[in-house]
Amino acid sequence: MVSRFEHPAGGYKKIFETCEELSEPLPTTVTGRIPSFLKGSLLRLGPGLFEIGDEPFYHLFDGQALMHKFDFKNGQVTYFRKFIRTDAYVRAITEKRVVITEFGTFAYPDPCKNIFSRFFSYFKGVEVTDNCLVNVYPVGEDFYAVTETNYITKVNTDTLETLKKVDMCNYVNINGVTAHPHIERDGTVYNIGNCMGKGATLAYNIVRIPPTQKDKSDPIEKSKVVVQFPSAERFKPSYVHSFGMSDNYFVFVETPVKINLLKFLSAWSIRGSNYMDCFESNENQGTLFHIARKNPGEYIDHKFKGAGIGMFHHINTYEDQGFIVVDLCAWKGFEFVYNYLWLANLRANWEEVKKAAMMAPQPEVRRYVIPTDVHKEEQGKNLISLPYTTATAVMHADGTIWLEPEVLFSGPRQAFEFPQINYRKYGGKNYSYTYGLGLNHFIPDRICKLNVKTKETWVWQEPESYPSEPLFVQTPDGVDEDDGVLLTIVAAPGSQRPAYLLILNAKDLSEIARAEVECSIPVTFHGMYKP
């Protein structure tokens, strides 16, 4: 699953360049045959505007949200894209400057305002960004583009028009929610975010949004907190990007990467501060694994602990014989990986990109196993009895249960990231396959498949081609877990047609078809296939 290519030509720099939106869908040039069961749309989100006037955005997560759509119809494919009309975008375009502070870019006060009005704007509190560049998911019959703040943005997935901004704080006690909810077959949505808990200490809430309502009311208005996880530190929540969910449990991994809330609250009065300045690492904490029952929501107070990791994406979580199996994409150590995702780093020449990546945390696909039935007298022995894993859980004298993972994939500076599975059938269930985007020193240059049971791997890769997260779509009459296709958008900056939608056979990653477009497409993070 390791990359076979070097990238000295630096074509990857093109995926971090501003592009124009389209006024109407473009036709594509199809080679191969588009499977007849693909009849819907592939929706993707990422940054599309990397500077405003002469003011640049500095971090990968700062560029303004651009929504992409490939539509499938009768074996033909069209491509369309539009900027989402967030407050961050509209005000920036109107004022021709960065108006709302983004993840790694500070918005300077309006130079035209006098000193008093600038002074007062500091005390009005923070304008939190609504730049929803990370993912899109369904809630009831609606679709929302999202980032990790309290704002989500309702979009029309046919026209890509922006409908309205929704503040989740109006419905539940939450400071923000992740861009990685879990969605059950009936449409119930679960998500997690940090919140103010009991006695003015921080905590993390799991929020449940019900499925489509019979009376056609908005499901978001019926959002409820299901269960609360405690925070290891009173004023410093861990950064949380996703969580695990099986049939009966939630799993929350509390990493040593912290948000210093006091710094966060004061940062907005310090000239030049942004979100990135508020992260720090607690080198002593390690990683805490929390579990809670799902229904009714109940926190289970066992102390599961492991060595420090950074973690963004869970792959899958399932139960087996009294154990919870948690597969995730880990980064070893306690340093924040986002420190390596400044655009200046990613746009550097290949030798520089490699040099920077040598310093970064190392990626690894890991399996942790958590016993649900724990007894004090079992000190010192491995509590895991599943025959197929080398992961261990050992009770220490202080009652802490120390977790050691099984490594499912490891390659130096070669990440298996942006993982996807056959989620509809195998989300929360015992499964075999995961698909991912291969990062080579942080540059996305291959599509990978991993058998988590045998550790067998498959790779799709072409020179000077930069793919994105692969989404799995099952063949309607498919029997096997991997009967289906993968959809990914590939940037091929040197080609006559600089980007294409690629359709791979999920069994062996062989190419089925591609639909090439005449324009370049920048980096995208996450998305969905809408049938």
CATH number of the domain that 460 lies in? Answer: 2.130.10.10
In this predicted structure, the answer to whether residue 40 has a pLDDT above a threshold of 60 is yes
pLDDT in tens, 301-324: 999 999 999 999 999 999 999 999
Residues 291 and 251: beta-carbon distance below 8 Å:
yes
Q: Which domain holds residue 175?
A: 11-530
Taking the mean position of all CA atoms in its chain, how far away is CA 330? 13
Answer whether residue 458 shows pLDDT above 70.
Answer: yes
3-state class of 485 per DSSP? strand
> What sign does the dihedral 300-301-302-306 (CA atoms) show?
positive
Pick left, alpha or beta for residue 371 (phi over 0 → left; psi -120 to 50 → alpha; otherwise beta).
Answer: beta
**518 pLDDT exceeds 80?**
yes
DSSP secondary structure string for all residues of 187-251: --EEEEEEEE-GGG-EEEEEEEE----TT---GGGG-EEEEEEEPSSSS-PBP----EE-SSEEE
Residues above pLDDT 90, as percent of the chain: 90
- pLDDT level of residue 115 (50, 70, 90 thresholds): low
375 is in an annotated binding site: no
Q: What is the pLDDT of residue 261?
A: 83
Residue 2, domain member (yes or no): no
**234: closest CA among 275, 200, 263, 195?**
200
Place of tokens 């961050």: 88
pLDDT score of 119 more than 60: no
Say how far apart CA 243 and CA 178 lie, in whole Å.
9
Sheet of 433-440: strands edge to edge?
414-420, 433-440, 443-451, 457-460
Question: Do the domain assignments include residue 1?
Answer: no
Asked whether residue 180 is marked as a ligand-binding residue, the answer is yes
- The span from the CA of 378 to the CA of 389, in Å, is 20
Q: What share of the chain is helix, strand, coil (3-state, %, to 5)?
A: 15, 40, 45
* Under 8 Å between Cβ of 150 and 177: yes
- Residue 469 domain-assigned? yes
In a domain, 379, yes or no: yes
| Residue 324 and residue 369 in contact, taking contact as beta carbons nearer than 8 Å | yes
Q: Higher pLDDT residue, 52 or 272?
A: 52
Report the distance separating Cα 214 and Cα 222, nearest Å.
13
Average pLDDT of span 480-485: 98
pLDDT at 201: 86
6 occurs within a structural domain: no
pLDDT at 118: 54
pLDDT given for residue 375 in this prediction: 78
**What share of the chain has pLDDT > 70, as a percent?**
96
- The mean per-residue pLDDT over the stretch 396-413 comes to 96
Is residue 128 domain-resident?
yes
pLDDT beyond 60 at 439: yes
Q: Choose among 285, 280, 283, 281: nearest CA to 267.
A: 280
User: What pLDDT, on a 0 to 100 scale, did the predictor assign at position 125?
Assistant: 58
**pTM recorded for the entire structure:** 0.97
CB atoms within 10 A of CB 531: 11
pLDDT mean across residues, the chain: 95
Q: What is the mean pLDDT of residues 333-337?
A: 97
Question: Which has more confidence, 122 or 196?
Answer: 196
How many independent structural domains does the chain possess? 1
Handedness of CA 372, 435, 242, 338 (dihedral sign): positive
pLDDT band at 436 (very low <50, low <70, confident <90, very high): very high
Residue 5 inside a domain? The answer is: no
> Which residue is it, tokens 């939450």?
174
Instruction: State how far the Cα of 164 lies from the Cα of 156, in Å rounded to an integer.
Output: 10
- Which neighbouring-strand residues pair with 515? 30, 501
Residues 242-272 pLDDT 10s = 999 999 999 999 999 999 988 877 766 666 7
314 is in an annotated binding site: no
7 is in an annotated binding site: no
Mean pLDDT of the region 148-159 = 98
In a domain, 4, yes or no: no
